[in-house]
Structure 1
Amino acid sequence: MSNLDKTLSTMVEISKIVTSSKDFFDIKDLVIDKMLEIIPPKRACVNIFRQDTYEYTYLVCKETLGDIPKYINGEETAIGKKITMEEFPQYIYDAVVNKKTCYIEDLFEDERGESERDFAELNGYVSRIAVPLISGDKARGFMTCFLGPEEKLLQDDIKFMESVASLLALSVDITSRNREIDEIVRKLRDAIVSIETLTDNLYENKGLDSYFKLIARDICKITNSKSAMIFIDDEDSDLRIIQSHGNRKRLAITTNFLKYNQNDKKKTFTFEDIPPNVSKYGISTIAYENIIKDDKKIGQIIMINSEKYRTDDLRILGIYAAQVLLSVHLFTSNRKLLEDSIIHRDLQLVHQQQKLIMEDEIMGEDDFLNIDYLNVPYKYIGGDFCKFIKVEQDKYILFIADVMGHGIMSNYFVAMTKGAINLLLTMTSSPSTILAQLNNILFKELDKMDVFITSKMIFFDFKNNKAYASNAGHTVPIAVYKDEKGKRNYRLMNGSTSIALGIFENTVYEEEVFDISDIELFAVYTDGIIESKNEQGQEYGADNLAKYIIKKLDEGEEKPCQDLLSEIEDFTNKKKLEDDITIFTIRKK
C-alpha cells in the first residue's frame, strides 16, 4: 500500500471513529494513535478549552508524551490538567487566536522558540507544531506534536494533521451538545422531584416558611448557585414571607439592584452586566423569575453566583415560580382541600377514568404472546401511559411514556398523548417518525406548561425477528433470553437516546434495529421503578428489576409484573410510592 493510500485509509478510519462516537473522551487517544501511525512524530497531545474562553486549557490527551506533563504547571481535574495559557509559548496562543497552524522547524534557530529552548532540550525535541481545533468560527482547543532531530514534517503531513484536528473539533462539539442535553434533562427531572417532595412537606408541616426555605436550598443545588431567595408579598391574601439559602447580605444587595434593573427580556446578568458597586460584594452572576398572580407581580425567586446561567436555569425558575404560586393559593385557600369529600370523589372518578384509558390501550391475550402489565399511580392521578397493539400478523407496536409530574396536569397530557398516538398510527408505524411528529404536535402545550415527556416506541416484527426502536429520553428496555445451557440471562437494549418530548421543537429521533431471535421476554418500564430508593439512598435499578423478572420466570410465573409492587415496597421499606410505577412485559409463547 502506498503512503497516500495508507493516509487516505487512516483518514477514513478516523472519520468513522469520530462520527460513530458521542463522547470525545472515549476516542481521543485512539485518534491520536492512528494519526501517529502516519506522520513522523511519536509524541503528540491535545488540549481543549471550556466555557468559550482561552484563559485556561485542559490537557486531555497525553499518553504519548512520556515525562513532559510532569514539567508543566497546572491543576489536576477530572478531565485533565488545567493549565493557564501563559504557560505556553506565544506562537501557540497566536495559532489559536488566528486559527492557523504554526510549525517551528528549529526552536533553537527560530526566535519564536527562544522561551522554550531549555524545556525542549530537557525533553529531547527540537521542533514543534501547533494545530488549532477549529469548529465554525471558534477554536475548541489545539493539538501539538514534539519532534526529535530526525523527525521532519512535510506539507502533506501538516494537511493530514489539520484534517484530524477538524475531526477532533467536531467530536468536542458533539460531546458538548450531548452533555448539554443530558444536563437539561437532569435539571428538569430534579426540579420536578424537588417540587413534589417539598409540596408533601408543605402539607405535612403546615407551614410556608420551611417550604420556601427548602425551595431556595434545592434551587441552589439544581442550578449550582451559591445563594437563592424566594419572597411573596401578596396584599390580597395578606401574605408576606421571605426565605433564603446562602449569603443573606449578597441576596439583599441583589434584591436592591433588581429593583431598578428588571427587564422581562433580560433575566440573567453576567459579571460584565453587574456594576462595580454591586460586584464588589462578591456577586458575579444573577438570575431571577417573577411570581405573577392575575398579571400582578406578588413575589420573586432570585439566585446568584452560579458559574454561568443558561436558558434551562431560567426554565427551572419558571417551573418553581408556577408551582409556588399554585401551592400558596391552595394552602391559603384551604389547608384541607384534598380532604374535602367532593374533591376526593372527583379525584377518584379521574383515577378510574385513567385506569380505563390504560386498559383500553392494551390489547388482550394473543395466540403468539403472553402479555402482562402493572400501573400504579403515585397518588390519585398518574403521568404514565402505555399502548400495545397488533398492527398485522406477527407485528406489534409498543409505546410507553412518562409525563414529568403528577396530578391533573399529567392526566391532561396523558389524554393528549393518547389521541395523538392513535392518529399517527394511522399514518405510519416508524417509531422515529412517530416520536418526531408527536413532539411537534405536543411541543407548544408542553413548552407553555414547562412539562416534558420521556417515551419509547418499539415496532416488533417477529416474523423477521427484528425490533425497530426509538427513544426520547426514556428508560432502557430489558430483554430476557436463555444461554447455551438453557439458563435465563438478560441484557439491556441500550441504544441511542434522544432528548425527551417537549424540550426542543423539530427534534429528530434516531431509529435502531435489534435482532430479537433469541429473546424470550421484553420488559419496558418507567423510572418510578428503577429510581425507587432504599433507606441507604441506593436506587432499585434496572439490574435488580431484570433479576426479579428472571426469578419469577424461573418459578413458572406467567404474570411476572403482579408482585412487583410488593418487591419495591420491601426494597424501600415504605408503603408510600415516590413516583408512578408502570411496567409492561411481552413473552413469546
Structure 2
Amino acid sequence: MKLNSLISNDFAVDGLDNAIIIIGYKSNEIEYLNQEFITVFDYSSKDEIMKKKIGELEFNELKKLHAFLKEKNKESVGPVKVNYQRENAETLFLKIKAWQIELNNKDYIIYSIKKSNNSYQECYLENNDKSLNQDCEFNEVIQDLNDSSDIIGNRKKLDNFLLKLLRSALMFIECDKGIVFLKDFFNDQGYMKEEIGVKLDEEVYRRLLIIFDSVLFGTRMIKKKIMDVLEDSINFEDRDISFELINDYDGTPLGLILFLQKEDREYNLTKSLLKVLGVTYLNFEVQRVKNLQREQKNQLINQEVNIAAHIQTSFIPKKTPRYNNLEVALYSQPSKLVGGDYLGFHEEEDKFDLLISDVMGKGIPAAIVVATIHSAFNILSDFDKNSAQILSSLNSNLYHDLKNQSAFVSMFHAIFDFKEEKLRYSNAAHNPPLLWSPKRQEFSLLSKKGILCGVESEYEYSLHEVKLEKGDIIIFYTDGLTDLRNVKGDRFKLERVKELIKNNSLSSAEDLKDRLIQEISLFIKEQPQPDDISFVITKFLKE
C-alpha cells in the first residue's frame, strides 16, 4: 500500500479538523500534510514545504517533540499541549499526538495537531470529573490567573504567581493546606516553593529536588519516592494527601502541586482540580516562561554573534595589497555569521607575507581561535622570521590555548621575495596551494607539509621555496572551496579550478576571483554552503 492510499483510506486526512503532517523517520523529510496544516501554520501551499526537512519548519515545539520521540524510540507520544504564535501575532493553543507506523518497510511518524480557541477552559472541561459542577466559578479563577501570568518574566514574578495560584485553588476547594514546589529553572539550581498552612523543613525540599534531578526514575517511581518523603515529613492526622507533577514538554518532572484535605471533603473535586492545575495549567505556564527565557537567551546570543561577526570582519584586510610585480585578490565567506577561516597579510617594500588558516569547527568557538591567530600573527610579522619559524611560533601559542579542546588548525604561510623572485613557504597540514606555470603550461601543488597546529607543543616546520616566473598564478584556499556540493551531491573538485585558471590565464587576479565566485554560484545554485570558503589568488608579473 502506498502512503497516499493509507492516508486517504485509513485517515481521510483532508476531511479531518486536525492538522496532519507525516515525516519520514530516517529522512526527517515531510512526506505528507493536509490542507488544515497549511491553514493553521500560514503556508501558501503544500508545495511550499513538501520534501523539506522538519528542521526547516518554524514550529519549534514540533521539532523538539520529533527529536524527543526519536531519541527515546517511543511508538507514540501525547497529547502534548503547546502554544504557537502565528504571523499575525495570534497565539494558538494546540495539542499534538504522534505515533509511528511502518509501510512498505519504511517508517513514518504521523503528527495530529488539534487547535483549541479556549485554551485553559477547554482543557479544564476535558479533564473535569462528571461530578464537578462548578464550571463557571472555576473559569473565573482560571481567567484571573491568566491575567496574572501574562507579565511573568523573572523568578520574583513567578513566585508571586505560584502563591496566587495556590491561594485560589485552596479557596476553590475550601482547603487550608497546600504546597507548590518547582525546580528553579531561572538559575538552573535550587528550587522555588510556596506553602500555605503547612511548613516543611528545607531538608525535605532538598530530598525532593534530588528526586526530580534524577534521570533514573520513571514517573511512577518518582511519585512513589515523593510519597515516601512526604509520609516521613507530614503529620497527616485526619487528612488525605493529593498531588500532581508539573512536567516539562517532554514529560520530565519539574515539580509538584499538593493539597492536604480533610477526609470528609469531596475527593473527586480535589483530584479534578489538581489535574487541571498540575497537568494542564501549570505545565503550560512553566513552558511559557521557559519559552520566554529561550527567546531572551537567543536574542542575547544573536547580539553576541553579531558583535563577533563585526569583529571578525575587521580582521579581513580592507585593502588589496598593490605591488608592481604582484597582483593579489581575496575572497572570504563564512558559512555562518562567524567562521573559522582566517586571511592575514603583512606588507613590506620588497616582500609580501600571506597567512591562510582553517580552524576545525564553525561558529563562536572557531571565531575565538581565529582572534588568537590574528593577534599572534600581527605580533610575529614585526619580527624578521621565515615562514617555518612563524608557523612554529603560532603552533606553540595555539597548543596552550587548545590543549583542553578537541580543536586544531591547518595553516599555510608564504613570503613573496620580489628581489630574489622566489616564494618561500611552510605548511601546517593545510590544503596545498595550486600553482599554474604558463611557461611550462602545467599545474603543480605546493604539497610539502607538516602537522596541524595545536597537536604538539613544540614542532619544527620545514621551509621550502619555488622560483617565480612571469605569469605564474597561485591560488591559496581552504577546504570549504572543494567541499562544496551541487544538488546531485557532486563535489566542486580542484579540476574545475584548474580549468578556469588555464582558460583565463591572461586575466588579472581580480578577474579570476570574480570568475571563480561566479562558477561557485552556478555550481551550488540554491544549495546551502556547508563550510567557510576563503581563497587568495596571486599573479606574479615580474618587472
Which one has the largest radius of gyration? Answer: 2
TMscore range, shorter length? 0.3 to 0.5
